[in-house]
C-alpha cells in the first residue's frame, strides 16, 4: 500500500506540474507582450519579499505533518483533532504576524528599486501580494491532514483545476484589460475558492474535523513541537535569506529588467525543479511511515534507490537545460531576452545541487530532524548573502548565483551526512562523501560534454534547427553516458525490474 500511495501521489503531482508548466509558458508570453519585462521583474521582486515573510510560519506545517504520521497509523482520532485545532490557531497567529510585518515593510519598498517602467501604484500592488499570502495561511491548513494521510493526489487534483482556471483568468485579464492589478485579484479570488473546496472535502473525508469536543494537546506532544519548531525557525531563516536575498540583490544592484530576464530562466528551471521535487516529495509520507518500523537496513536501501534515481534525473535535466535553454529562449522571446553563458552555467549548477539535496531532505522531513542541525542554515544563509554581495561587483548576475551555489554546498556537504545520514542509517560520514563525490565527478564530465556540444550547435544560424538538434542531443547524450556507466549498478537493476513489472501489468 505504501508503494501504491507513493506512485499515485507522485503521478498526480507530475501531471499537475506538467499542466502548470505548459500554461505557465503561455501566460508568461502573454504577460511579457502585454505588460513588459519591468512588470515581470516587479512580480519576481514582490514574490521574493512575501516568500521571505514566510519565516513567521516557523516550520509549524512540517512539524504538524511529521507528528501526524504516527497518530494516523494508530488511528488516534482524539490526538489528531487536538493537532488540527493547534494547527488552525497557530496559522491564525502566523497570518496576523505576516500581515503586520508586511505592512511595516511598506515604507521601505522604494529602497529595493526605482521601479522604472511601472505605471501602477506599487503600494496597492504590494498589498494585493500581501493579502494573497495571508489568505493562504488562513484557508489552507486542512491540506495537512491529506498530506499526512498520503493523499497528496487529492490536493493535486484541486491544484490542477486551480492552475487551469487561474491561467485562463490571467490570459483573459491580460489580453482584455492589460491590468496587473486585475491579474493579482484573479489569483487571490481563485486561490481562496480552491482552499474552501479543499476544506469542504477534508471535512467530508474526516468527519471528526468538525467535532467540538476537542481536548488540549498533551504536554509531551506540545513539548516535542516546541523543540521541532525552534529548530525549524533556524531553517526558515536560512531559506528566508538564501531564497529571498538573491532577488533583492539582483533588483537593487542590477535593476528590474535584469530581474525580469532572470525570472524567465527561473520560470523554466523552477517549474522543472518543482515537477521533479514534487514527484519525489510524494514519497515523504511513505518514508515517514517506513521510519516508524525502525528497520535501518530497509530504510537505507530505500535511500540508495531514491538517491540514484535523483542523480540520474537531475543530472540529465541539468545537461538538457545547458543544451537547450539558450536556443529555446531565442525562439520563444528573442535574442534580447537571453542571458550570458556563464550565467546559464551557474543556473545549471544551482539546479543540480538543489536537486541532489532532495533524497536526504526527504528523510530529514520524514524523521522530523529540524532541531539538531538548526544552526547550519543560518551559517549558509549568511555566507550566501556575503558572497553574493562580494561577487556581484566582479561577475554581475553570475556572481550572485555563484554565492548561492557555494553557500548551498555547506548543507549538501557537511550538514546532511553529520546530522541525517549517519544518525538515521548508522553509517560513517565518509560513505556519504564518497557517494556524492562519485556522482559529482560524473556530472562534471556530463557538463563538459554538454558545454562543448553547445558551442558547436551555436555555430548554426537557424534558431529552430539549433533548438531541434539540442533537444535530440539532450535526450541522447546524458542518458547514453549514464546508461554506459551504471547499467550494472544494483540500483539501476532495481528500477529496470520495477519498470518491467509495471509494463507487464499494463
> Is the same domain home to 143 and 76?
yes
The pLDDT value recorded for residue 30 is: 94
Domain co-membership, 17 together with 114: yes
Q: Are residues 118 and 61 in the same domain?
A: yes
286 lies in the same domain as 304: no
Query: Are 407 and 305 in the same domain?
Result: yes
Banded pLDDT at 284 (limits 50, 70, 90): low
3-state DSSP assignment of residue 338: coil
Examine the pLDDT at 243 and tell me if it is beyond 70. Answer: no
pLDDT band at 6 (very low <50, low <70, confident <90, very high): low
pLDDT exceeds 70 at position 56: no
* pLDDT at residue number 479: 94
Q: Find the domain containing 464 and state its range.
A: 296-322+339-506
| Tens-digit pLDDT profile for residues 213-229 | 888 888 887 787 777 77
Mean pLDDT over residues 180-196, rounded?
A: 92
For residue 460, what pLDDT is reported? 84
- Is 285 contained in some domain? yes
Report pLDDT for 402: 93
What per-residue confidence (pLDDT) applies to 293? 65
Ranges 141-145, 397-401, 447-451: which has the least confidence: 141-145
Q: Label residue 413 exposed, middle or buried (CB < 10 Å: 0-12, 13-18, 19+).
A: middle
Strand boundaries in 211-342, DSSP class E: none
Phi/psi of residue 71, nearest 5 degrees: -75, -25
Q: According to the model, what pLDDT value does residue 186 have? A: 94
pLDDT band at residue 314 under the 50/70/90 scheme: very high
Considering the domain architecture, whether residues 279 and 348 belong to the same structural domain is answered as no
pLDDT at 141: 74
pLDDT at position 419 over 80: yes
Cα–Cα distance, 153 to 17 (Å, whole number): 12
Mean pLDDT on 44-67: 74
Do 361 and 235 have their domain in common? no
- The answer on pLDDT for 180 being more than 80 is yes
* Averaged pLDDT for residues 388-399: 92
Cell numbers 516557523 correspond to 58
Q: Establish if 52 belongs to a structural domain.
A: yes
Residue with more model confidence, 295 or 420: 420
Confidence of residue 97 (pLDDT cuts 50, 70, 90): confident
pLDDT band at 154; cut points 50, 70, 90: confident
- The predicted pLDDT at position 261 comes to 93
Same domain (yes/no): 222, 314:
no
Residue 466 placed within a domain:
yes
**Is residue 329 a part of any domain in this protein?**
no
Q: Residue 155: inside a domain, yes or no?
A: yes
Q: Is 506 exposed, middle or buried (0-12, 13-18, 19+ CB in 10 A)?
A: exposed
Question: Taking all residues of the chain, what is their mean pLDDT, rounded to a whole number?
Answer: 84
Q: Is the pLDDT of residue 404 over 80?
A: yes
The pLDDT value given to residue 390: 93
Residue 332 falls inside a structural domain: no
pLDDT at 183: 94
Assess whether 214 and 363 both reside in one domain: no
Task: With respect to residue 233, please indicate whether it lies within any of the assigned structural domains.
Answer: yes
**What are 250-263's pLDDT values in tens digits?**
998 998 899 999 99
Q: What is the pLDDT of residue 411?
A: 67
Residues 347 and 398 in one domain: yes
Dmax over CA atoms of the chain, in Å, equals: 72
Let me know whether 249 and 374 are in one domain.
Answer: no
Looking at the 3D structure of the chain, how many domains does it have?
A: 2
Lowest mean pLDDT among 245-249, 264-268, 326-330, 426-430: 245-249
Asked if residue 388 and residue 243 are part of one domain, the reply reads no
Structural domain contains residue 328:
no
Q: Please list, in sequence order, all residues whose beta carbon lies within 8 angstroms of the beta carbon of residue 261, skipping any fewer than 6 positions away.
A: 37, 337, 339
Q: Is 295 left (phi over 0), alpha (psi -120 to 50) or beta?
A: beta
Amino acid at each position: 500500500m505504501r508503494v501504491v500511495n507513493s506512485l499515485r501521489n507522485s503521478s498526480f503531482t507530475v501531471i499537475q506540474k506538467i499542466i502548470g508548466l505548459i500554461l505557465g509558458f503561455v501566460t508568461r508570453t502573454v504577460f511579457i507582450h502585454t505588460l513588459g519585462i519591468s512588470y515581470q521583474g516587479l512580480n519576481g521582486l514582490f514574490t521574493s519579499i512575501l516568500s521571505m515573510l514566510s519565516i513567521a510560519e516557523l516550520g509549524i506545517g512540517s512539524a504538524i505533518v511529521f507528528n501526524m504520521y504516527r497518530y494516523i497509523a494508530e488511528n488516534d482520532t482524539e490526538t489528531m483533532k487536538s493537532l488540527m485545532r493547534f494547527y488552525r490557531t497557530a496559522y491564525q497567529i502566523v497570518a496576523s504576524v505576516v500581515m503586520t510585518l508586511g505592512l511595516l515593510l511598506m515604507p521601505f519598498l522604494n529602497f529595493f528599486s526605482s521601479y522604472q517602467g511601472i505605471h501602477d501604484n506599487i503600494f496597492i500592488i504590494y498589498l494585493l501580494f500581501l493579502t494573497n499570502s495571508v489568505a493562504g495561511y488562513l484557508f489552507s491548513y486542512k491540506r495537512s491532514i491529506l498530506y499526512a494521510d498520503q493523499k497528496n493526489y487529492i490536493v493535486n487534483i484541486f491544484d490542477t483545476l486551480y492552475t487551469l482556471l487561474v491561467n485562463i483568468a490571467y490570459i483573459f485579464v491580460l489580453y482584455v484589460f492589460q491590468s496587473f492589478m486585475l491579474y493579482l485579484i484573479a489569483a487571490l479570488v481563485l486561490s481562496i475558492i480552491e482552499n474552501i473546496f479543499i476544506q469542504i472535502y477534508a471535512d467530508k473525508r474526516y468527519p471528526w474535523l468538525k467535532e467540538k469536543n476537542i481536548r488540549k494537546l498533551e504536554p509531551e506532544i506540545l513539548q516535542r513541537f516546541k523543540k521541532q519548531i525552534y529548530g525549524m525557525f533556524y531553517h526558515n531563516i536560512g531559506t528566508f535569506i538564501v531564497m529571498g536575498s538573491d532577488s533583492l540583490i539582483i533588483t537593487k544592484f542590477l535593476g528590474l529588467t535584469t530581474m525580469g530576464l532572470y525570472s524567465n530562466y527561473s520560470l523554466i528551471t523552477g517549474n522543472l525543479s518543482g515537477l521533479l521535487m514534487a514527484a519525489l516529495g510524494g514519497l515523504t509520507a511513505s518514508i515517514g511511515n517506513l521510519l516508524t518500523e525502525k528497520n535501518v537496513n530497509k530504510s537505507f536501501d530505500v535511500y540508495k534507490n531514491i538517491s540514484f534515481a535523483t542523480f540520474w534525473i537531475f543530472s540529465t535535466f541539468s545537461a538538457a537545460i545547458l543544451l537547450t535553454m539558450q536556443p529555446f529562449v531565442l525562439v520563444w522571446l528573442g535574442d534580447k531576452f537571453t542571458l550570458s553563458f556563464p550565467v546559464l552555467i551557474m543556473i545549471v549548477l544551482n539546479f543540480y545541487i538543489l536537486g541532489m539535496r532532495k533524497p536526504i531532505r526527504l528523510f530529514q522531513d520524514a524523521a522530523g530532524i529540524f532541531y539538531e542541525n538548526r544552526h547550519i542554515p543560518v551559517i549558509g544563509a549568511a555566507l550566501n548573502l556575503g558572497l553574493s554581495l562580494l561577487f556581484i561587483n566582479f561577475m554581475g548576475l553570475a556572481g550572485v548565483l555563484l554565492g548561492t551555489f557555494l553557500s548551498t554546498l555547506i548543507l549538501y556537504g557537511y550538514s546532511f551526512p553529520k546530522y541525517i545520514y549517519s544518525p538515521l542509517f548508522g553509517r560513517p560520514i565518509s560513505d556519504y562523501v564518497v557517494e556524492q563525490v562519485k556522482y559529482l565527478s560524473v556530472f562534471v564530465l556530463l557538463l563538459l560534454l554538454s558545454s562543448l556540444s553547445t558551442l558547436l550547435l551555436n555555430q548554426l544560424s537557424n534558431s529552430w534547427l539549433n533548438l531541434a538538434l539540442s533537444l535530440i542531443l539532450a535526450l541522447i547524450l546524458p542518458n547514453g553516458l549514464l546508461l554506459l556507466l551504471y547499467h550494472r549498478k544494483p540500483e539501476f537493476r532495481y528500477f529496470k525490474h520495477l519498470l518491467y513489472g509495471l509494463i507487464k501489468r499494463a
